[in-house]
Amino acid sequence: MNRSRSWPRAISVLSCSAALVFAAGCASSETVGEAELVSLGPKRLAFDRAFIEGSYVSREAEHSFWFSDVPLSALLAHDAGTPLVDGVFLHAQLIWLPLPGRTPLDPTATNLVTRVLIVSNGESGLYGGAAFARIDGEPGDDTLTLEIEGGTLTLLEKTEGFVDLLSPVGLDATLTASLRPEDASRWRRALSQFATNAFGRSMWVSAPRESPRALATR
């Protein structure tokens, strides 16, 4: 990943304030991986972010992953009356598994539905899209790593003070999640409620059914 620009400098332009300073409690020497977001518009803005939380749940129809750069307790505290000022959250739904040694027939094929929620100085922006992901491990393993590439997202919703300088945006990431179904459910409920409260309507939708483009070949 290109780390030529730091996240705090880049993400500051997303807020109506002049600068963004992440809370000291967000820093951690232990991470579950990094994601890079690159604006695909005329002004190319690139930055990456390390995530400190990663949980997933494996189901018959799809596998759902939750990543964050703040602990779950910070999100739960928001509902309890302590506002969440800054945070980045990634929800990824793996809808089919790539087979070893096989590549997508179509370079635009996707098997991952993605949503990124950015909270900056108390303002929120929700991006949604799709990507292709390879996995290191098997669903049901204690840990599972996603190698996300070629993702594209667009802004779905924002609060009044959130300034979008990214959309459309590219996404690449390598992230590891632990099999923690209970934590994954808590992330889902907490983020769904956060988004509903922020945007005034439910924004966390289910993954679409597999499309013809989401097919693998040799």
Alpha-carbon distances of 170 from 78, 81, 99, rounded to whole Å: 29, 34, 24
Q: Is the dihedral of CA 206, 186, 15, 10 positive or negative?
A: negative
* Neighbouring C-beta atoms of residue 6, cutoff 10 Å: 11
pLDDT tens column, 42-58: 888 887 889 999 999 99
Burial 75-106 (b: 16+ CB within 10 A, else e): bbebeeeeebbbbbbbbbbbbbebeeeeebee
pLDDT tens column, 83-93: 889 999 999 99
What does the pLDDT read at residue 131?
Answer: 94
What does the pLDDT read at residue 106?
Answer: 66
Paired tokens of 47: 């930055």
In the predicted model, what is the mean pLDDT of the chain?
A: 79
What does the pLDDT read at residue 64?
Answer: 95
What does the pLDDT read at residue 155?
Answer: 94
Strands 53-58 and 169-179: parallel
Residue 193, pLDDT > 60, answer yes
Residue 129, pLDDT > 90, answer yes
What does the pLDDT read at residue 209?
Answer: 42
Grade residue 162 by pLDDT with cuts at 50, 70 and 90.
very high
Residue corresponding to tokens 């993605």: 114
DSSP β-bridge partners for residue 162: 15
Burial 168-206 (b: 16+ CB within 10 A, else e): ebbbbbbbbbebbeebbebbbebbeebbeebbeeebbee
Between CA 165 and CA 13 the distance in angstroms is 7
